Structure 1
């Protein structure tokens, strides 16, 4: 029986946020539609960024292509065990220096926002995304012929969940485990006092 993955929150959240999670069990027969892929990338494209710099870059490889196989081979071995069934692998990189040669200190932050937008759009499309930090960045950079100023940050596995997908036992257990987060109070920083000793409003 599948355990509910809906977030337990102190106040109600939009279902696209509350029900989003990162599966490893993919429907290996699912094909990502062109319109769905475009919608995901458009959602990312319209994310906010510092000075509207839009530093995010995406390399898309669909399952069954040579590009997909090459990106999969660059993943950590543990990720290769299940990522092969995803409908697509998306390399996400950040352009850390602008065309004028000026550094973009917020490029990674902004690219993270773009990916967050993409994940919410995926949820709307009936899809899911699992973000992977475990991959060979040098190998991916060489594969995509990236300049030194464009840095791979993450590989996204994109597809349709399959609760019946075969996974190694330890990963199957994670699929069934409820989601959790640290309490909200633990994330809040204390509000500092102003130099006069009065609390800031």
Structure 2
């Protein structure tokens, strides 16, 4: 969480799951440029968000962060890619049979669509 902006730390501080989305600039198997890296990473984040919502979870995607080398922050091998966003996954707060997601400024009730 040290890389997140102060406002995003408020979103993430109580989240049981934090996910770092990374776009791989080159393919692992041949080292060639991956032209669809950004598209693929965005599609994966969207798919994860949709599935989490279908399971009754809440996902907040956060782009406010300082990208540092993942190996310095995470216990994993060095990753040749660009950080795209952090995602926090939580259980939404339930009030009066209505799903309410918690924001740093209080509850946020989604409007009708």
1:77 and 2:10 are equivalent in the alignment: no
Pairing 1:122-201 to 2, within 5 Å after superposition: 122-138=52-68, 140=70, 142-144=72-74, 145-147=77-79, 149-162=80-93, 163=100, 168=104, 171-172=105-106, 175-176=108-109, 178=111
Whether the 8 Å CA contact 1:141–1:152 is kept in 2: the answer is no
Aligned counterpart, 2:50: 120
Bigger share in strand: 2
Structure 2 unaligned regions, length at least 5 = 94-99
In structure 1, how many angstroms separate the alpha carbons of the residues matched to 2:43 and 2:112?
A: 22
Task: State the secondary structure of the residue aligned to 1:73.
Answer: coil
In structure 2, how many angstroms separate the alpha carbons of the residues matched to 1:177 and 1:111?
A: 26
Higher RCO (CA < 8 A, seq sep 6+) = 2
In the superposition, relative to structure 1, how do residues 86 and 125 fare at CA in structure 2: closer, same or farther (>3 Å)?
Answer: same
Whether the 8 Å CA contact 2:57–2:92 is kept in 1: the answer is yes
In the superposition, relative to structure 1, how do residues 140 and 77 fare at CA in structure 2: closer, same or farther (>3 Å)?
Answer: farther
In structure 1, how many angstroms separate the alpha carbons of the residues matched to 2:6 and 2:20?
A: 17
In structure 2, how many angstroms separate the alpha carbons of the residues matched to 1:164 and 1:116?
A: 18
Larger Rg: 1
Aligned counterpart, 1:60: none
* TM-score, normalised relative to structure 2: 0.76
Structure 1 unaligned regions, length at least 5 = 1-71, 181-201
Task: State the secondary structure of the residue aligned to 1:137.
Answer: coil
In structure 2, how many angstroms separate the alpha carbons of the residues matched to 1:118 and 1:160?
A: 15
* TM-score, normalised relative to structure 1: 0.46
Bigger share in helix: 1
